[in-house]
Structure 1
């Protein structure tokens, strides 16, 4: 058989073809190395550097590959890419099949060049465009195992913007990954693992990947990522820096074309410190810090748009903030956007709101340093031991959470809040407790309105706080119901540094306050041992009138008028001091042991309070006050009756000296006063009975009545020595010329029996005492009965019990030397105390630097030289106790002490003696009389002289 020529030559053609293919394969690597780089640079501007590809029977290798952009900047590089092909399987199945694909030390450099542009995407745009334009199925590619090791990814912001607006640099190093069984056309799970370091923080993930349909699920974790380099991420929204702090996270995830899901998530923030982005005057740089913030049990369903967190725990947070003049926290401006960030509305995004819930939020060991303004001064408040618990929380309407918060302020006061909370709409129903809150904290807020200073006082209370809003955010209810207790209150008048208001304890029971309607209702107020002081100054004004400081006009009040209603105020052992400084001598009287109640107090027009009080003047003369009044309305009303019994007339010497021209040397007074006030019109009647009146010295007074008073007394006193007076009062309180007028004396009866002096030697013999009983001596400047003199009082009291018809007269004296120096020293203490706004003792001058400075300043302003100069002049060491004492003595000698002060001292000594007889020895007050005391002369002493007369 003969074959055609081609068939006879096919062995030669086959051998030739194989030789040609072999030559082509042999030269292909060098051809590709020479031709591919210039072709890429010519058509796409990409610069490719690589070693000659190695094509072997078992492995294809691309080594030392570097891809750069038109400017020669690196895009992508790797050290070695090795592929192990399956030649026979690839030919048999007409697909690309590999045993392994191993990529070693790849390095990717990403540079942001625009709003949504990266250098790598720009460089590969022609390729991606061609791929996008082409159609068809995925290429038939299968890889049994794909691995990556030693990878790096660098990201930086290359935009032409200020550095402060750049994205943070990011680095992904030590990148290692593996995927098993890659098949671009197949289905089934592809196990994968990935580890890396994100900015040095360990990052890992593992799971399964499906390509058709696309789906991935697995677990991921990130440990201790330092957050300070990431500051540009939040800079457009907040002006804050984070110099310290890290974040750790772990989660299980699942994603597909239908949606994504995160479960078993946990986020931990450690060691955060938050500071201001830039200095703001003298505001503190640090805003907050905390030890740890943990979010545990995080579940996020992106498809159903739901977020759930089981637990949130915040450990040892510390907040530093300062309130401005409007009491807004200083960090509020920091939370506002620093720059406007445009929003891109995604039309495809659902408007359906996310649903969320939080199981429990716990706060442990928190603290706050709060600086708040008070009259231009920043005052620090420290909140410590801040503990809280809240939960569960969610976005459902009407969902209720339990809330507990407690803290300790300035290591003095405790606050607690416990109850239920709802966010939509907002409602809070909680118990609010306060313990040992110093009322002195309120001084900073009151000093611009009141000329008074709160020196002591603590507040305790427990109330139920209810706040409710409707769905539109308007307040529907805001109430506070409970009790309040204020203990050991002391308020001092700044003008004289003397006590103005005080009480041992005040208790408010069943306090009901409507904060929305400004209405307060109190069931009962209990005042224990209250004290108040009312004084009339020389110009006729009262200390209560000058108590209020001038305030700037606040404009027309908006909203409801405040309403106050108190069902009952009970007073126990109260004390009211009244003083009149208009007279030639100061008039001072105390209503002590004040007990009783005042009911139905209100500032609502038409309501009147019922008053019923009982007390004692100077602790032994009974007084009763009863009636009705409302002094809290614009046009006050009053209908009051007051009864006094057995008042010492010597107390009223300032009035008798001013308006009658005589001092009162002896006498007792009983009165029944009835006053009515309607608006500014006052009407009153005074039924007065005077017992055993004895006038003292003649006093020159331009306001004295021109009457023969002693003769009138002799004519008007009855057989029992009683004088009856009836004084009518009527006038307009708004008229500055209004005054009560002169007293009218009605004297009926016999001439007052003259007093006689009792022979104290006889009284001493009655008790077997050898003491001198006609006087009691006092320490200089003191009104307290010395213990050494007690035996004399006891002996004299025993004698008075044996002589029931005897009456005892007490006349106080003063030592013009010792008492004067003591009063001068006390006056100097008071002057320095007002300057320092606290009570001081000159005995502590060596241990009180502030007192030393105040004393030195007063000495310099008085004598035009310092105390140090005084010390040198007397050869004393400056700053020594002797030097300070010399300065005190010198300044004290300059203190003016009036005769009124000396006379007052003498009178108080006599009153102290009488009080001792009445309270300790049960001597009837009708038998003890305090005579008019005199300032004394060179022979007088610090003592009280006794005299007797028939009762």
Structure 2
């Protein structure tokens, strides 16, 4: 197992005084050795260290020059460790190159406090780099590495607390003497975290973490603050295809959603007070509603500074029924919310701009909740909803964070209890930016019942074509859309006008509602089933009411509505091709479903394809 190579010599060693003894060993080797190590800090408790190979060269006493070290071994037939380098035994200085591969994170489960009730189910650690020694102690550690295929769970549940494909770092530089850490690049690849709010309002592991801290404090186990504070720098943090699973059980109706497809970067994170950290993250809610978080913070500045913008696009209000039920006392049957938030914190002064647009909001059944606000919601919605069925609100928030009466969470909740995020369709936001347009280029609006393109639509389409010229691989999909109630009523009115003209009325009679027009309407009204000249209170049924009843009884079928939607799509394509010279193969019309949920406005909705 051991091999010592001594220098060859035919001479008898001279007898010298003890102070003049010297030793030089060219090499010491230990080959293919094994170690069985029982430890309470690992699982399994017995660690099998095998294939141990150690080589020391140029070992002298008194110490002279550099002694070279080479070590390799295998742990539990899975992980491997190799160390190579040199040490100056006379002063303890040295540099070692090391490489650790496939170290199983689950082996260290016994080190997780019992109160956490958590365990690591899988994960492998791999690192390599250089270690500098001063006085035989580590002084500077440089490393590249990664923890891959990791998963941790709370015991007794099937759900992973967190998992990821890879958390990797490059150019980690840790200085023990200078108390500093720098990681040039940190990447989180396919990270999956979970934020779980329990019935009592606590968050995953919040209570057990507090319990551990309290126990440690009572036992005097908390370390004292170091005289020299540590500094750190993380210039670049990249987040790739990650997600956050959010679950809230504190509501009468449990809520769960996934913020996924998270991609972006966090740059400039540092302990330096003057440093500013920038955040640029993009993702989606439930796989289809874009979400963007962007801004800057100074986390360690003496004066607090936060400048953050958050936007959501195309969130279906029905998904937020657990919150509307809790805080508004109603379920939501239908609606789309678009939301933009921007918060600026400078010192203690907070300013927030919240812009929300809700389309086609329809409240559902009433839900009993002690937290529901006491507001006449139906009246509020009627006051806020315009003739197109849109609620458009700008809600500023401001206050002093040192004011005990001010709470950011309650202020935001109060402002947006009936609102949900504004939909921003990412591709068309990009195209609008390319064209320098502030218009929503995804929707082309038409008058109810009409299929003619107006001037605003022409401007929108011109901006869109200008953007498409900069994106030659992007094509358009045209979806004819309907507002079922408004379009049907307009078609009914138009159909009635045609019948009235056929009956001999002039366009002036119809436009001015002449006496002849009124006579014809009365005659038609009396032919309706159940028609009566008086109301239940004995008052006379007005000519306006009779006209509305006549209109409502004109039959408009699904085919007529479908034809209107298709004609609108054809009108848009005709204008794109004939007037704006967009190649015909760069836009295609898709078949319309009259009963599709997307039919909430009169016009044409645009999609993109390649």
- TM-score interval, normalised by the smaller of the two chains: 0.5 to 0.7
Contact persistence 2:291–2:310 (CA under 8 A) = yes
Q: Is 1:742 aligned to 2:438, yes or no?
A: no
Following superposition of structure 1 onto structure 2, how do residues 177-576 of structure 1 map, counting pairs within 5 Å? 297=7, 303=14, 305=16, 350=17, 352-374=19-41, 379-395=45-61, 399-447=65-113, 450-469=116-135, 478-494=139-155, 496-543=157-204, 545-546=206-207, 548=209, 549-550=212-213, 551-552=216-217, 553=220, 554-576=222-244
SS of alignment partner, residue 440 of structure 1: helix
Alignment partners' CA distance in 1, 2:335 and 2:329: 16
Map of 2:358 onto structure 1: 690
- Are 1:600 and 2:268 counterparts? yes
Match of 1:60 in 2: none
The 3-state SS of whatever aligns with 2:110 is: helix
Cα deviation code 1:222-247 (max 9, x no counterpart)? xxxxxxxxxxxxxxxxxxxxxxxxxx
Aligned partners of 2:352 and 2:113: how far apart in 1?
37
1:654 positional shift = 1.1
Distance change >3 Å, CA 446–CA 587, structure 1 → 2? same
8 Å CA contact 1:413, 1:437 repeated in 2: yes
CA distance in 1 between partners of 2:335 and 2:128 (Å): 52
Task: Give yes or no for contact 1:723–1:746 (8 Å, CA) kept in 2.
Answer: no
| Cα 1:381–1:629 shift into 2, 3 Å | farther
Q: 1:426 to 1:685 in 2, by over 3 A?
A: same
Structure 1 residues 803, 721: closer, same or farther in 2, change over 3 A?
same
Deviation at 1:368, TM superposition (A): 1.3
Counterpart position of 1:327? none
Task: Name 1:51's counterpart in structure 2.
Answer: none
Q: CA deviation at 1:388?
A: 1.9
- 1:533, CA displacement in angstroms? 1.7
Report the CA distance shift for 1:531/1:635 in structure 2 as closer, same or farther (over 3 A). farther
Correspondence for 1:614: 282
**Structure 1's 558 and 743: CA in aligned 2 closer, same or farther, altered over 3 A?**
closer
Work out whether residues 419 and 429 of structure 1, in 8 Å CA contact, stay in contact via their aligned partners in 2.
Answer: yes
Aligned equivalents of 1:642, 1:606: Cα separation in 2: 24
Report 1:861-880 matches (<5 A): none
Partner residue in 2 for 1:639: 307
For residues 486 and 22 of structure 2, what CA distance do their matches in structure 1 show? 97
In the other structure, the counterpart of 2:592 is: 803
Cα offset for 1:665?
A: 1.1
Query: Would the aligned equivalents of 1:367 and 1:382 in 2 still touch at CA under 8 Å?
Result: yes
Q: How far did residue 598 of structure 1 move?
A: 0.3
**What does 1:634-713 correspond to in 2, within 5 Å?**
638-676=306-344, 684-713=352-381
Cα offset for 1:572? Answer: 1.1
1:503 Cα deviation from its structure 2 partner: 1.3
Once the two structures are TM-superposed, the CA of residue 409 in structure 1 deviates from its matched residue by 0.6
**TM-score, normalised by the number of residues in structure 2:** 0.63
SS in 2 for 1:582: coil
Q: Distance in 1 between matches of 2:180 and 2:383?
A: 60
Identify the range of structure 1 (393-402 vs 454-463) with the bigger mean alpha-carbon deviation: 393-402
529 and 746 in structure 1: CA distance in 2 versus 1, 3 angstrom threshold:
closer
Q: 1:599 to 1:391 in 2, by over 3 A?
A: same
Separation of aligned partners in 2, 1:635 and 1:436: 44
Task: Measure, in 1, the Cα distance between the counterparts of 2:44 and 2:117.
Answer: 21
Cα gap change, 1:612 to 1:293, in 2 (>3 Å): same
Change beyond 3 A, Cα 1:541–1:706: same
Residues of 2 paired with 1:575 and 1:507: CA distance? 17
Q: Residues 753-798 of structure 1: CA distance to partner in whole angstroms, max 9, x if unpaired?
A: 7699xxxxx99xx9xxxxxxxxxxxxxxxxxxxxxxxxxxxxxxxx
Whole-Å separation in 1 of the counterparts to 2:232 and 2:273: 11
**More divergent stretch after superposition (695-704 vs 629-638):** 629-638
Does structure 1 conserve the Cα–Cα contact (< 8 Å) formed by 2:73 and 2:80? yes
1:680–1:734 contact (8 Å) kept in structure 2 = no
Partner of residue 580, structure 1: 248
Q: 1:309-344 CA deviation, whole Å, 9 max, x = no partner?
A: xxxxxxxxxxxxxxxxxxxxxxxxxxxxxxxxxxxx
The match for 1:62 is: none
Partner of 2:480: none
Q: Which runs of 5+ in 1 are unaligned?
A: 1-290, 306-349, 757-761, 767-799, 811-921, 926-951
Q: Distance in 2 between matches of 1:754 and 1:301?
A: 114
Give me the whole-angstrom Cα distance separating, in 2, the residues matched to 1:406 and 1:680: 56
* Higher Cα Rg, which structure: 1
8 A contact 2:105–2:120 mirrored in 1: yes
Q: Distance in 1 between matches of 2:302 and 2:75?
A: 40
SS in 1 for 2:596: strand
CA 1:603 to 1:468, structure 2 compared with 1: closer, same or farther past 3 Å? Answer: same
Is this contact kept in 2: 1:716–1:746, CA < 8 A? no
The structural deviation recorded for 1:468 is: 2.2
**CA distance in 2 between partners of 1:746 and 1:580 (Å):** 18
Quick one: which of 726, 731, 737 aligns to 2:394? 726
Q: Which secondary structure state, in structure 1, belongs to the residue aligned with residue 368 of structure 2? A: coil
Q: State the shift of 1:483 in Å.
A: 0.6
Deviation at 1:508, TM superposition (A): 0.5
Distance of 1:529 and 1:540 partners within structure 2: 28
For residues 370 and 176 of structure 2, what CA distance do their matches in structure 1 show?
Answer: 56
Q: Deviations over 1:876-923 (max 9, x none)?
A: xxxxxxxxxxxxxxxxxxxxxxxxxxxxxxxxxxxxxxxxxxxxxx99
1:729/1:464 Cα in 2 relative to 1: closer, same or farther (>3 Å)? same
Indicate the structure whose relative CO is greater, using CA pairs within 8 Å and at least 6 residues apart. 2
Which whole-Å CA distance do the structure 2 matches of 1:655 and 1:718 have between them?
A: 24
Q: How many residues align?
A: 433
Alignment CA distance shift 1:690-1:682 (3 Å)? same
TM-score (norm 1): 0.41
CA contact (8 A) 2:7 2:26 kept: no
1:422–1:292 Cα change, 3 Å: closer
Separation of aligned partners in 2, 1:755 and 1:452: 57
Report how far residue 623 of structure 1 moved.
1.1
Residue aligning to 1:276: none
Report the alpha carbon displacement of residue 699 of structure 1 after superposing the two structures with TM.
1.0
Distance apart, 1:703 and its partner CA? 2.1
